[in-house]
Amino acid sequence: MLTIALIGSGNLGTQLFSLWKKHPSVQISQWVNRSTNQSIIAGVNCIPCLSNLKPADAYILAVPDRSIPSVSAQLPPSGLAIHCSGSIPLTDLENNGSQAVLYPLQSFSKSQNINLSEIPLFLEVAEGVKPTVLQQIADSWSYKQYWIDSSQRQQLHLAAVFANNFTNQLYYMASQICQRNALPFEALLPLIQETAQKIQYLTPIQAQTGPAKRNDQEVLEKQQSLLADANEKKIYQLLSQAILNQEDE
């Protein structure tokens, strides 16, 4: 059985602990978890710091991006160091042993139940490193796997920021408009769901609708006049112009 030391107890670390705590082919030998006082959780030894870390087949770094270099530098020389970041290159790992990346393309929350087996995983190993251990770990997680390099992964993460983080910000701005005008934000939920479902069978350009798509200047000018917040107006103008500039596919 493959032994893993899981490092981190944030959103991703908590989800991975639930995945592997009783897995038939992967055993969490230790969980570096600073958020608990328990020494054992679900039969797994919990430790507060890296100084108590024992050798394992692999070390999964479910830590913030900025911590990857310093945390990896403290790992034992044996075993495979694996970070899970989309924006950090493989070369930022500073351990003396083998290095790899296993990037899950998903937004994680501790309390959210996610089907981890359907999350796309993006794999990379350092030059000269056999992919066997990384492949075993990936197989225990998800059947959707892709091999890409650090440059491709950084571009993928950038695309994910547009698709997820910026979209969430637009949801927030929509909720603020609703709140200011005593309107229920939940009234937008069916529209949000339909928008997300459409792009499963249409391209984003094909699914696009609205006044900018129709080049309805009268509506565009009217809606801009309704926005008193300068930041909201600027974003409205930028996105509307981007839609106007698009060519139909």
pLDDT at residue 248 in the model: 62
pLDDT at residue 39 in the model: 86
pLDDT at residue 249 in the model: 55
Q: How confident is the model at residue 164 (pLDDT cuts 50, 70, 90)?
A: very high
Task: Give the C-alpha separation, 121 to 156, whole Å.
Answer: 12
Residues 80-104 as b or e (16 or more Cβ within 10 Å = b) = bbbbbbbebbbebbebebbbbbbbb
Q: What DSSP designation does 213 have? A: T
Mean pLDDT of the chain: 94
**Longest alpha-carbon distance in the chain:** 67
Domains, the chain, ranges and CATH? 2-148 (3.40.50.720), 153-245 (1.10.1040.20)
Does the pLDDT value for residue 35 go beyond 90? no
pLDDT tens per residue across span 18-29? 999 989 999 999
CA end-to-end span of the chain, whole Å? Answer: 50
Residues 177-198 as b or e (16 or more Cβ within 10 Å = b) = eeeeeeeeeeebeeeeeeeeee
pLDDT at residue 178 in the model: 97
pLDDT tens per residue across span 200-228? 999 999 999 999 999 999 999 999 999 99
Q: Is the pTM of this model over 0.85?
A: yes
Range 27-36 average pLDDT: 91
The residue among 159, 244, 249, 235 whose CA lies nearest residue 204 is: 249
Does the pLDDT value for residue 182 go beyond 80? yes
